[in-house]
Amino acid sequence: MPLSDAGTVHIIGAGLAGLAAAVRLSGSGRTVAIHEATAHAGGRCRSYHDQATGMLIDNGTHLVLSGNHAVMSFVRTIGSAAGLQGPGEAEYPFVDLADGAQWTLRFGDGRFPWWIFNKDRRVPQTGVVDYLSLARLAWTQSDKPIGEVMTCSGPIYERLLEPLLLAALNIAPRGGSAKLAGALIRETLALGGQACRPLLARAGLGHVFVEPAIAYLKARGVSIAMQDELVMLHFNGRRATQLDFAKHSVPLAENDIVILAVPPYVAESLMPNLTVPNSFRGIVNAHFRIDPPAQLPSMLGVINGACQWIFALPGRISVTISDAGHLFEMPRGELAQTLWREVAQVTGLRSDALPPWQLVRERRATFAATPEQNARRPAAETNWSNLLLAGDWTATGLPATLESAIRSGNSAADLVGLRLREAA
Ligand SMILES: Cc1cc2nc3c(=O)[nH]c(=O)nc-3n(C[C@H](O)[C@H](O)[C@H](O)COP(=O)(O)OP(=O)(O)OC[C@H]3O[C@@H](n4cnc5c(N)ncnc54)[C@H](O)[C@@H]3O)c2cc1C
């Protein structure tokens, strides 16, 4: 089939899954059109100018690990890899607010987790044998709650696995999916320090993930329609036949393909009989407008506090709390003050001098990473020959992260090529 007959690929949703699919398809000679419901791209990974603090802030500080190969490849392609910054080696400083203890996990720079055999690099109070639980989790066969696969207590759990898994799965790890935790461990911790370097978009998520992607796509002729919400899909037999947007309709030609890269609850409302994750967990981020003290590491893990991670960013200190449902009803001022007191305790800044602040509470930050919810994730392929799914919630085998979103977009884009070859 000549590419001029290859039809249009309509991508619904300009989150990272939709953008990744578009980046992979752009330049393929096919017409690609993105339709986004809101006025901005990026979805759950976005920056915005906050009037209360006068700062550019992220909806949530996003941590990427150097082993997230789809993320790394995405930013290299769109030309923004330099914006993801972190220490030269995989280092994770921690503080325990209960007793003031401080330690730094240093995973080294290798391709194998040699740090486990070095008592100066291991988690304090742990021995090599304690790390067998990591191996058990990494190669777990059936999906069970993590609490059924390993002991969720003791130094290795409390000082390594709990903070890392809570951040990556966005759920108290005990009830989290052992399979999802296992995938994460196999792709990062088990591959040594080279795969575990923590990377942050220090100048903002928009500068690294969104604006360069939009510029890349526009330069390759991809059309991006904002405030273009898909409200209904029409079907006939095994095909989707028409897209109804809020303000116009698009009949689908024979070779047109649709990639639905919207959140699960939207996909469920647009497609009949689709099983999707239907339970979610929230994330709270607090941003304080203040220059971080020089001694504050760019990322600090906090044990036994309301804060879980404290980030030192240009002109601000940010705090992240995963699985934060318990904080959603707390009055905003009280929560900001509580978090600031802990920041002050750690940094030596004055606890009674609350800087200008903003709180971002994302109720449905990710699907709940339990075995039950993981089993509800659909494949990219659907019952309709010209309709594909993408999103961090589809069956990527990973927790709901940027890596999962981008891989899902890549897979959907690869399936477009396959479908069109089959149709030729
Ligand atoms: C606070 C927070 C912190 C996070 N921290 C991390 C982290 O540290 N590391 C990490 O890897 N991941 C993190 N994540 C997860 C990461 O942000 C997501 O996995 C990723 O952004 C999901 O991308 P997506 O494209 O699958 O979905 P989304 O970003 O939800 O994109 C879906 C898009 O579809 C659009 N849409 C919805 N309905 C329609 C419609 N009817 N028509 C057209 N468009 C529509 C939406 O507006 C949105 O733009 C975090 C998420 C949050 C919320």
- Residue closest via CA to ligand 1's atom 27 equals 15
Atom of ligand 1 nearest to the CA of 18: 25
For ligand 1, say whether the CB of 16 is within 6 Å of any of its atoms. yes
Question: SS3 breakdown of the chain: % helix, strand, coil, rounded to 5?
Answer: 35, 25, 40
In degrees and rounded to multiples of 5, residue 242 shows phi and psi of -155, 145
Cβ atoms of residues 140 and 182 within 8 Å: yes
Q: What Å distances lie between residue 286 and 93, 280, 336, CA to CA?
A: 20, 20, 7
First to last CA, the chain: 5
Q: Is the CB of 402 under 6 A from ligand 1?
A: yes
Percent of the chain at pLDDT > 70 equals 97
Q: What is residue 62's predicted lDDT score, i.e. its pLDDT?
A: 97
What is the arithmetic mean of pLDDT over 293-306?
Answer: 96
Q: Is 43 in the pocket of ligand 1 (CB under 6 A)?
A: yes
Q: Does residue 422 surpass a pLDDT of 80?
A: no
Query: What count of other Cβ atoms lies within 10 Å of the Cβ of residue 118?
Result: 11
Regarding the beta carbon of 14 and ligand 1, being less than 6 Å apart is answered yes
| Angle (CA) 269 327 92, round 5° | 100
Contacting residues for 240 by C-beta, under 8 A, at least 6 apart: 233, 234, 252, 258, 384, 386, 387
Both structure tokens of 299: 């990322």
Q: Where are the alpha helices (DSSP H) in 188-298?
A: 205, 211-219, 264-270
78 lines ligand 1 (CB under 6 A): no
Q: Is 58 touching ligand 1 by the criterion CB < 6 Å?
A: no
**What average pLDDT does the segment 375-387 reach?**
97
pLDDT higher than 90, residue 333:
yes
Q: How many angstroms separate the CA atoms of 243 and 267, rounded?
A: 13
**What pairs with residue 312 in β-bridges?**
317
Query: Ligand 1 within 6 A of 46 CB?
Result: no
| Helix 178-187 and helix 162-169, axial crossing angle in degrees, nearest 10 | 100
Q: Which of 48, 58, 62 to mutate to test the pocket of ligand 1 (most atoms within 8 A of CB)?
A: 62
Strand partners, 360: 285
Rounded to an integer, what distance in angstroms lies between the CA atom of residue 420 and that of residue 375?
A: 29
Q: 366 — phi, psi (to 5°)? A: -145, 165
Q: What mean pLDDT do residues 173-195 have?
A: 93
For 309, residues 6+ apart whose C-beta sits below 8 A from its C-beta are 61, 63, 163, 167, 299, 300, 301, 302, 319, 320
CA of 45 to the centre of ligand 1 (A): 6
**Is the CB of 22 inside a 6 Å radius of any atom of ligand 1?**
no
Check whether 292 has a pLDDT greater than 80. yes
Query: Is the pLDDT assigned to residue 374 strictly greater than 60?
Result: yes
- Bridge-partner residues for 91, per DSSP? 106
What pLDDT, on the 0 to 100 scale, is given for residue 118? 77
Q: Is the CB of 60 under 6 A from ligand 1?
A: yes
State if residue 391 touches ligand 1 by the CB under 6 angstroms criterion.
yes
- Range 217-236 average pLDDT: 97
Which of the pair, 131 or 86, is modelled with greater confidence?
Answer: 86
Give nearest CA residue, ligand 1 atom 39: 37
Looking at residue 424, what is its pLDDT? 62
User: Residue 44: CB within 6 Å of ligand 1?
Assistant: yes
Question: Does residue 229 have a pLDDT over 60?
Answer: yes
Q: Round to whole Å and give the CA distance between 379 and 351.
A: 49
pLDDT value for 362: 96
Q: What's the mean pLDDT in 304-325? A: 97
**Nearest-atom index, ligand 1, CA of 404:** 19
Question: Do residues 161 and 154 make contact, with C-beta atoms less than 8 angstroms apart?
Answer: no
Q: Which residues have a Cβ under 8 Å from the Cβ of 387 and sit 6 or more positions away?
A: 233, 240, 257, 258, 260, 271
Q: Which residue has the higher pLDDT, 311 or 157?
A: 311
Percent of the chain with pLDDT over 90: 81
Give residue 124's pLDDT: 76
pLDDT for residue 33: 98
CB atoms inside a 10 Å sphere around CB 320: 22
Provide the sign of the torsion angle of the four alpha carbons 343, 344, 347, 350, taken in this order. positive
- Give the residue-averaged pLDDT of 306-317: 96
Report residue 7 as tokens.
Answer: 């039809």
Write down the pTM of the prediction. Answer: 0.95
Distance 417 CA to ligand 1 centre (A): 25
Residue listed under structure tokens 């079907």: 235
Q: Report whether residue 71 contacts ligand 1, using a CB cutoff of 6 Å.
A: no
Region 64-78 average pLDDT: 97
Question: Comparing C-alpha atoms, which of 176, 179, 182 is closest to residue 369?
Answer: 176
